Amino acid sequence: MRCVAVKRSSHLVVTPADDAEEWSKDHLVRWLRLPCVTPRNGQRTTPVLKSPRMFRDAEEWSEDHSGARSNFASKRAWRTGSLRGDEWSGVAEANIQSACLAVLNRCRWFRGALLACACGCASTPSSKFPNAAAAVARMRVSMACDRAIQVEGKVDYFEGNRRVRGTVDVLAALPEQVRIDAISPFGINLSTLTSDGKSFSLYDLQSKTYSWGPAKACNLARFTKVALPPFVLVQLLRGEPPVLVHRPEDAYLRWQSNWFGGGHYVLEIHGNHEAIETVTLQVPERDWTLPWQAQHLRMTDITVVQAGRTLYEVMISGYASASTAPPREDPDGLEPTLMPSGPQCSAELPRRLRFVSRDGDTDFVLEYKTAVHNPPLLPSAFQQPIPGGVRTLHAECLD
């Protein structure tokens, strides 16, 4: 294809031409400084040329630089008005010839990339889960070895215009036992929340208060900033969705494809009291060739709405395998060794959870630094005595 340049206003238009001589790469890069557009006459032309760097990979460039000075002088003469547009076309067509070749080469590469993406990027798991019950059961099997988790992490949350950061130790055990200790940079215990599923207690060093009451979502929100029942919090910390009570026919599972390949499952459960739970489930790419009975599912988002009002939303990410905690030994040998609270387990655990409150005013992020399965548990791990010198408050609230 041969091209010629025609000067129109401040743009350089690329059109076909009959003859052109080759120019050097260096001269073209220095010469082509103006933006290029495609004429609007409906004729077939080369693509829009925008940057000299596009042409640095042209295949054929002349090593004969003779005549370069005269041609650049002609370019300057045209800009000053002493050279007509048709004369400038003849001067510039050799430069655009090489530009056309380079753009065509780029276009071939781009078409190849699109074709490769259309063939390979659109891959999906070869075996799909047949229904919602099968997906939920598979997640339960994947986490069957886990009884409890122990996490050392960091919290970062916004409450109105106030931002709070800190270090926490989290202990969570099935079905609804939780302990969260907030630690200062100097290793001082600033606050402790405990819940055994029935009773709740919260110690705050700064206010020197000890609050106690029933283990309700509103009480846990005094620490977590998001109202979650204890069993829901334990399940989410493990990366497993707390499933609403529902009839089998009220659970739906569908595969939703992405624009450029891949996709995810959407699990929707309609429970009692106008509650709807929507869960996004990802299949790791390494499992795409396995039958669905052997695939792993990762919960990446969960939203629970009741009567049109969002109760909570949690975004989960960073899944990675975790090991089983070692036995707990007394360095002085006075206490018996505590063994792990469950079997050996290497199931995946999330590494980042973002909780959003029902009013959207609180954004609570928990990031795991370390996480282990089935840590040794003391009998009093989820209860705490009343410290001396504190005010005792009865924490009563309505969910």
Domain boundaries, the chain: 3-120, 132-174+226-376
Furthest C-alpha separation in the chain: 102
The sign of the dihedral angle between the CA atoms of 299, 267, 136, 306 is positive
**pLDDT of res. 112:** 52
- Under 8 Å between Cβ of 1 and 104: yes
User: Can you tell me the distance from the alpha carbon of 153 to that of 312, in angstroms, rounded to the nearest whole number?
Assistant: 22
- Under 8 Å between Cβ of 146 and 309: no
Tell me the pLDDT of the chain (399 aa) as tens digits: 444 444 444 444 444 433 433 444 344 334 343 344 344 444 444 444 334 333 344 333 334 444 444 444 444 444 444 444 444 444 444 454 555 455 445 545 445 554 444 444 547 899 999 999 999 999 999 999 999 999 999 999 876 677 888 999 999 999 999 999 999 888 889 999 999 999 999 999 989 999 999 999 988 888 878 889 999 999 999 999 999 999 999 999 999 998 877 899 999 999 998 999 999 999 999 999 999 999 999 999 999 999 999 989 999 999 999 999 999 998 888 888 999 999 999 999 999 999 987 766 678 899 999 999 999 999 899 999 998 889 999 988 876
User: Can you tell me the distance from the alpha carbon of 215 to that of 208, in angstroms, rounded to the nearest whole number?
Assistant: 21
Q: Which residues, other chains included, contact 104 with Cβ-Cβ below 8 Å and sequence gap of 6+?
A: 1, 46
DSSP string, 160-192: TTEEEEEEEEEEEETTTEEEEEEE-TTS-EEEE
User: Can you tell me the distance from the alpha carbon of 180 to that of 170, in angstroms, rounded to the nearest whole number?
Assistant: 5
Please determine, looking at this structure, whether the domain spanning 132-174+226-376 carries the CATH number 3.40.630.
no
Quickly tell me which residue has 């000067």 as its tokens: 7
Name which of 362, 354, 315, 352 is nearest 221 in CA terms: 362
Q: Which two tokens stand for residue 102?
A: 């380079």
**pLDDT of res. 224:** 79
- Pairing type for strands 11-16 and 36-37 reads parallel
User: Can you tell me the distance from the alpha carbon of 142 to that of 208, in angstroms, rounded to the nearest whole number?
Assistant: 43
User: Can you tell me the distance from the alpha carbon of 280 to that of 330, in angstroms, rounded to the nearest whole number?
Assistant: 43
Q: Which two tokens stand for residue 160?
A: 């109105």
Pure H helices in 207-279: 217-224, 230-237
User: Can you tell me the distance from the alpha carbon of 6 to that of 19, in angstroms, rounded to the nearest whole number?
Assistant: 15
Cα–Cα distances (Å) from 46 to 3, 14, 23, 84, in that order, read: 9, 7, 18, 24
Q: Where are the beta strands (DSSP E) in the chain?
A: 3-8, 11-16, 36-37, 148-159, 162-173, 177-183, 189-195, 199-204, 209-214, 251-257, 263-270, 275-282, 298-306, 309-317, 320-321, 348-349, 352-356, 362-373, 391-394
**pLDDT of res. 330:** 87
User: Can you tell me the distance from the alpha carbon of 105 to that of 58, in angstroms, rounded to the nearest whole number?
Assistant: 8
Q: Read off the DSSP letter of residue 101.
A: H
Q: Read off the DSSP letter of residue 126.
A: S
User: Can you tell me the distance from the alpha carbon of 146 to that of 344, in angstroms, rounded to the nearest whole number?
Assistant: 8
The sign of the dihedral angle between the CA atoms of 54, 58, 63, 67 is negative
What's the CA angle centered on 13, arms 9 and 16, to 5 degrees?
A: 150
